[in-house]
Amino acid sequence: MECYLGSKVALATMHGKERAIARPFRSLLGLELELPRGLDTDQLGSFDGLVPRAGGAEQACLRKARLGIENLGLPLGLASEGSFGPHPEMPFLAAGLEVMVFLDQERGLEIWERLIARRTNFNHRCAAEPAELEGWLTQVGFPTHGLIVRPEHPCNGAETLLFKDLPDHPQLAGAIDAAATASSNGRALLETDMRAHRNPTRMACLRTLATRLAKRISTACPACAAPGWGRLEVVPGLPCSCCGMPTPLTHRERFGCVSCSHTEEHPRPDGLAEADPQHCPLCNP
């Protein structure tokens, strides 16, 4: 895909995401990132919960990409957004959903890539003092991963008290003490900082996602040659090797274009043509 070679793309971020995104976009597309100046992307909803995010991660991501385009006056924009919570299939595990969008206003393209991050340190804990947190702090990766500290039940006037960017254990202890003192139950609430520059696990996910998006952009539609050809969905129904009934396993993959209506279905890429009967609703109900 030569069409973006030497072009610039606006990346609206305050959180150092260019460290994960710059290389794949340069090496796969010849695109250079440009960061808008004086942009407060936290206005669009921030990870410390002080600004609620309207319309979900995808809407926030689109707004951010458009903000970067307007700020720099470029036709190309890029943004990412993460949301974290219980894993959709395993509610006791945390998972992250990362979305990333590339906008090309001249060609009228909107190209998405999504990633479910099974490895995330997303977590929270309440404590009156650091001694209660020893194993937990290791588990969430402090201090290489950031923490946000505030009162669990803020006393009057302490509603906005919040500590972040704590570099080490002594400063964390000070923040816990101050937040616990300002809480009516004497306890501080600690939450993992999910901002990319304070969360190397998340930064690694963004690198994977950026590589996938750059690959998708660099793939041309076989019908109209527009950038952004890629997988739209997986089609279940891989036949059971014993009785031939469709199982919930992936049978085919459907690919599509973001510009024209062309789609194609292909067999699953690992070549598996039949499912083990253990996945069959008839043989193994």
Beta bridge partners of 246: 239
**Which is closer to Zn ion, CB of 66 or CB of 262?**
262
**Which is closer to Zn ion, CB of 234 or CB of 282?**
282
Measuring CA to CA, how many Å separate 80 from each of 83, 114, 133, 223? 10, 10, 32, 29
Contacts of 1 (CB under 8 A, 6+ apart): 29, 217, 218, 219, 220, 227
**Which is closer to Zn ion, CB of 13 or CB of 250?**
250
Rule CB under 5 A: say whether 242 interacts with Zn ion.
Answer: yes
Question: Which stretch in 165-173, 182-190, 209-217, 238-246 sits in contact with Zn ion by CB under 5 A?
Answer: 238-246
Hey, which bits of 53-170 come out as E strands?
76-86, 94-104, 109-117, 124-127, 147-151
Give least dist CB 103 to Zn ion, A. 17
Give least dist CB 236 to Zn ion, A. 15
> Does the N-terminal peptide bond of residue 236 adopt cis geometry, omega within 30 degrees of 0?
no
A 10 A CB-CB count for 89 gives: 8
Rule CB under 5 A: say whether 282 interacts with Zn ion.
Answer: yes
Q: Given the DSSP bridges, would you call strands 76-86 and 94-104 parallel, antiparallel or unpaired?
A: antiparallel
Q: Candidates 233, 260, 266, 274: give the one binding Zn ion (CB under 5 A).
A: 260
Rule CB under 5 A: say whether 235 interacts with Zn ion.
Answer: no
Rule CB under 5 A: say whether 272 interacts with Zn ion.
Answer: no
256, HSE (Cβ side, Cα atoms, 13 Å): 11
Question: Which stretch in 105-113, 145-153, 173-181, 242-250 sits in contact with Zn ion by CB under 5 A?
Answer: 242-250
Give the binding site for Zn ion (CB under 5 A): 221, 223-224, 226, 240, 242-243, 257, 259-260, 262, 277, 280, 282-283
